[in-house]
Structure 1
Amino acid sequence: MPRAENPLETDGSALTAFAAGLRALRENAGNPSYRELARRAHFSATTLSDAAGGRRLPSLAVTLAYVRACGGDGDEWERRWRATAAELTTPAPAAGTAPYRGLAAYDHEDADFFFGRDRLVETLLARIATHRRVIVTGASGSGKTSLLRAGLALRLTGPVVFTTARELRRVPEAASLVVVDQCEELFTPGRDDDRARFAAALRADGPRVVLAVRADFADRCADLLGAAPARVEVGPMTPDELRQAITGPAARVRCMVETPLLTTAVALAHGRAGALPWLSQALLETWRRRSGNRLTLAGFQAAGEFGALPAAAAEAVFAALGPAGQAVARDLFRRLADPLEGLRAVDVDELDDTPLTADVVGRFVRARVLVRDAHRLRLAHEAVLDAWPRLRDRSDGPGRTHRELTRAATAWRRHHRDPSLL
């Protein structure tokens, strides 16, 4: 006979009610032992017992495993879990300085909260010391601006000017270093005169210059300099760098990050340069839902994790498009999201060379939904596949046929239009 559980405190809280519901579900299933539940659920008996202990809200994965092991309705209990998590993690009034910056870049005043890029800052400093012209490049959302404004800024001495390509009119004579961000803006239509003035200013015998530019414009930006510059690539963070970026800012405001949250966040962001803004946004929302001085996995999940946040941004962009733009967007996302293969990248050569397509792609890139590097376009994170209904409910047939034709056409071109490949 299973050992009786400790009684729950009848305090009327949402947490106690949730635990009582799990216990009732187990009782209705014939009161199996936790050892038997562990065999069915593939979680330890201790983890499952704690789930119904009423001391803390179990993770969603543990809850669903417990429910299914007892023959319960997973969809119903997922809704119940989310409602309970929302009640337990209602955003507290903002107190003090938030340690994360969300979708915004870290700036000079945020340097104390900028962690995880020490190795890259050292690399950049070494390039600046030996080259007069340095290009910092990487995919959209990889953290180029934060690297320059929060990571590099405090390591520099002498008069340094930080500006953007849109703002720069001339290179200041008194500056020892000029850092120019967002240089891809020079290559938008109608900026021919700006590019010419920019190139003339940079080719003059002035201060050292660091240019930050999205990867797909790096070569064109280098051509403006008239000589081969040194390059620094901003790629995805390593797991250790991600742990620093997650726990370091929290420690600055005397908060701790619970291990389950840290493990989950690192796993979601590792290897995905475009996920960094959404990691920061999810952590910001988690901090607002903190439990005392702890950032918890329950708060992270209640905030929407990685899926719901970019999905909401994607829907906002889509809704703002006209009918023609929405048609382009539907076609684009059919290519990006294969129902069977999951997330895939699209070569930029596959995109229609029209102003409308460029505008649609640009909107989703600026919203951090899409990531663009030198040659490819991809979703910022595969969690969007399940979180955005327009992708989840997509039809398979036309998209798959289009992708097969695209691959065949690419192979045909690469083989000098060999008639046998038709």
Structure 2
Amino acid sequence: MTEPTEYQHDLFISYADADRAWVEGYLLDALTGAGVRCHTEAAFALGVPRLREFERAVQESRRTLLVLSPAYLAEGFGQFTDLLAQSYGLETAAWPVIPLILHPVELPPRLAMLTALDAADPADWPAVVERLCAELQRPAPGPAPKPACPYPGMTPFREADSDRFFGRDREVEELLERLRLHPFLTIIGPSGSGKSSLVFAGLIPALRRSGLFGPGEWLVRTLRPGEAPLAALTAALGGDPAQAVPDLLAAQPDARRLLLVVDQFEELFTLARAEVEPFQRALLRLAESPGCYVVLTVRADFYADLMASPLWQEIQAHRFEVLPLGEEALRQAIVRPAEDAGVFVETALVERLVADAAGEPGVLPLVQETLVLLWEKVERRYLPLRAYDALVLSARDYRALGGAHLTGLQVAMARRADAALAALTPEQQAIARRIF
């Protein structure tokens, strides 16, 4: 092979898709931070045979790094080594190749004579990067700033979080269609199922974008019933509910529709029993006002109260029950916010979280809060499974918590609760223990 007078890339990195999170989140972040010009398969031309692109990448790069793992060796590695042999001869000492062992494997015969970098132990990753930088005559990279955490934890998503809200596309589309057909809708689900997030981060942004309702903008007003629901309704609408809708729309020339969201509607039955019926009748009248749409969110354990209410006929005919996130939707809720923040989550961590979440009631807040805890363990732009393992208590600690079958999510929550309790004064701790 003719040596080029100048290489376009310092390093071509070949790796398995299963190892993409580590390569792109940790290795590439560190190397590019040190000024290394890297090239990967992500830049391969579309519609060109893969081996031809491999050959071009090797020719245009000063060194080729093979990230070795069982997954890599299973992905047609033999064809690549044959290509190297054809290009550089059978004497592997002449190959500009650096093997990097990410997961323990037996080196193929043609690479066994080469000095390999061992990255199987995460504690060695910084040294591996420094060694590569030295080989390529680049300075070692500095520390990487930690990206802002994209997960809300136990707090529901709000409208401003819509760009970080994933996994509910189908439900949002169905809610849009339901509201297009009828101006009253009740969203019912267990505690922690994501009802409020679905409305604020899913439905409301979708309404603002949608063309299903014709021209004009939406006004959105929200409230929780609290102890004085009629006063809360008057405050949300800025005046007498009987006249508020036309007044609000008249005051906003571009607005054609009003969306009133009553979040945590169950407070009407727990905090304000004296105003239960008048408040519900006021909502019925609002739903009959031209241009007004009413959406309630309510916990499923209040079905008996709903069935006895003046709203039941509307609720029964126009309700949407929020089901737990399916596995694929939960994967999106885990991975997509991190990707948008430039962080790659190890596939094994995603699958572990999905498995631990199976069968858990109200699992989404648990997963989101666990991800907030895990975010402290981001390494450059890579979130590994070992961060989750570090949260999980030993078997002895599991038993001390009262059971040997707690999931990692439950253990993570137990640790967060213990930390919160430890931050209280002894008097506050005594009160907290009586409450919980």
TM, length-normalised to structure 1: 0.52
Larger Rg: 2
Q: Which runs of 5+ in 1 are unaligned?
A: 1-45, 59-91, 327-359, 365-422
1:218 matched to 2:303? The reply is: yes
1:114/1:133 Cα in 2 relative to 1: closer, same or farther (>3 Å)? Answer: same
**Deviations 1:37-57 (Å, cap 9, x if unpaired)?**
xxxxxxxxx96779xx66334
Of 265, 276, 295, which aligns to 1:195? Answer: 276
The amino acid that maps onto 1:188 is T
1:56 matched to 2:89? The reply is: no
**SS of residue matched to 2:193:** coil
1:269 matched to 2:348? The reply is: no
**SS of residue matched to 2:375:** helix
Whether the aligned pair in 2 keeps the contact of 1:237 and 1:273 (CA below 8 Å) is no
Q: Structure 1 residue 187: deviation in Å?
A: 1.1
Whether the aligned pair in 2 keeps the contact of 1:115 and 1:248 (CA below 8 Å) is yes
Counterpart Cα distance in 2 of 1:102 and 1:54: 32
Whether the aligned pair in 2 keeps the contact of 1:177 and 1:208 (CA below 8 Å) is yes
**Deviations 1:360-408 (Å, cap 9, x if unpaired)?**
6xxx6xxxxxxxxxxxxxxxxxxxxxxxxxxxxxxxxxxxxxxxxxxxx
Of 157, 160, 165, which aligns to 1:109? Answer: 160
Whether the aligned pair in 1 keeps the contact of 2:145 and 2:380 (CA below 8 Å) is no
Who is 2:233 aligned against?
A: 168
1:178 matched to 2:263? The reply is: no
**SS of residue matched to 1:159:** strand
1:124/1:94 Cα in 2 relative to 1: closer, same or farther (>3 Å)? Answer: farther
Counterpart Cα distance in 2 of 1:102 and 1:180: 22
Of 283, 299, 307, which aligns to 2:371? Answer: 283
Q: Which runs of 5+ in 2 are unaligned?
A: 1-101, 107-117, 124-142, 209-217, 227-231, 250-256, 393-407
Of 326, 332, 338, which aligns to 1:238? Answer: 326
Counterpart Cα distance in 1 of 2:310 and 2:415: 38
**Deviations 1:5-61 (Å, cap 9, x if unpaired)?**
xxxxxxxxxxxxxxxxxxxxxxxxxxxxxxxxxxxxxxxxx96779xx663349xxx
Counterpart Cα distance in 2 of 1:138 and 1:177: 21
The amino acid that maps onto 1:56 is D
TM, length-normalised to structure 2: 0.51
1:56/1:153 Cα in 2 relative to 1: closer, same or farther (>3 Å)? Answer: farther
Q: Structure 1 residue 227: deviation in Å?
A: 2.3
1:216/1:93 Cα in 2 relative to 1: closer, same or farther (>3 Å)? Answer: farther
Who is 1:125 aligned against?
A: 176
Counterpart Cα distance in 2 of 1:94 and 1:215: 43
1:135 matched to 2:176? The reply is: no
Who is 1:228 aligned against?
A: 314
Moved more, 220-229 or 268-277: 220-229
Counterpart Cα distance in 2 of 1:290 and 1:95: 7
Counterpart Cα distance in 1 of 2:416 and 2:270: 24
User: Equivalent pairs: percent with the same residue?
Assistant: 34
**SS of residue matched to 1:156:** helix
Whether the aligned pair in 1 keeps the contact of 2:144 and 2:380 (CA below 8 Å) is no
The amino acid that maps onto 1:180 is V
Counterpart Cα distance in 1 of 2:421 and 2:280: 34
Whether the aligned pair in 1 keeps the contact of 2:103 and 2:119 (CA below 8 Å) is no
1:159 matched to 2:219? The reply is: yes
1:54/1:96 Cα in 2 relative to 1: closer, same or farther (>3 Å)? Answer: closer
The amino acid that maps onto 1:179 is V
Counterpart Cα distance in 2 of 1:93 and 1:177: 44
Count of residue pairs brought into register by the alignment: 247
Q: Structure 1 residue 325: deviation in Å?
A: 8.0
Higher relative contact order, structure no. (Cα contacts within 8 Å, ≥ 6 residues apart): 2
Counterpart Cα distance in 1 of 2:432 and 2:347: 47
Whether the aligned pair in 2 keeps the contact of 1:242 and 1:270 (CA below 8 Å) is no
How do 1:80-95 and structure 2 match up within 5 A?
95=146
Superposed CA RMSD in Å reads: 3.1
**SS of residue matched to 1:227:** helix
Counterpart Cα distance in 2 of 1:93 and 1:47: 24
Moved more, 244-253 or 262-271: 262-271
Whether the aligned pair in 2 keeps the contact of 1:183 and 1:221 (CA below 8 Å) is no
